[in-house]
Amino acid sequence: MASETLDKIRLSGDVPNHVAIIMDGNGRWAKQKGFPRQVGHREGMKSVRETIEGAAEAGIKILTLFAFSTENWNRPRKEVASLMSLLQYYARKERDSLKHQGVEVHVLGETERFDDQTQEAVDLIVEGTKGGQTLRLNLMISYGGREEILRSVRLWPRMRPGP
């Protein structure tokens, strides 16, 4: 989270309970700087760490990061593989630090689309941070609003009480 935004939150004394951020533009940033898109995604992960620490420090209770939409599966296979590899790496690397900070991670989205290695890394970070009391981190990965609406419509008949 940008330091000036954190300062505004702190100075206002009116800390929001929930902040949601759409992570977008890392690849374009890298391209503008003459780097491969993967460099932008790695830099974006550094910003994620700072954002989580800043949100917890500011007293925000819930942070939602919309990180990877269902539409992102349509990107080139190599880029998707790189993003999933980055997710695996950071999930394993940051798990203990997040637990120590009191962050509880929840992953929302179509996780059944993950390969085995990505699913394992996601499961490890979710299980490894259970019980965190400082900040709930919702990671929206393989998530899309349209798909959520369709899933809800399909589930509706099973959820209604009565005959």
Residue type, 92: R
Choosing from 7, 17, 72, 138, which is the catalytic residue?
72
CA dist., res. 85 & res. 161, Å (int): 43
Is 24 catalytic? The answer is yes
Is 72 catalytic? The answer is yes
- Is residue 137 within 8 Å of residue 52, measured between CB atoms? yes
- Is residue 143 within 8 Å of residue 108, measured between CB atoms? yes
**Residue 162 is encoded by which pair of tokens?**
């009565």
Residue 125: partners with Cβ closer than 8 Å, 6 or more residues away: 91, 92, 94, 95, 98, 105, 107
Choosing from 7, 24, 96, 115, which is the catalytic residue?
24
- By annotation, the residues acting in catalysis are 24, 72
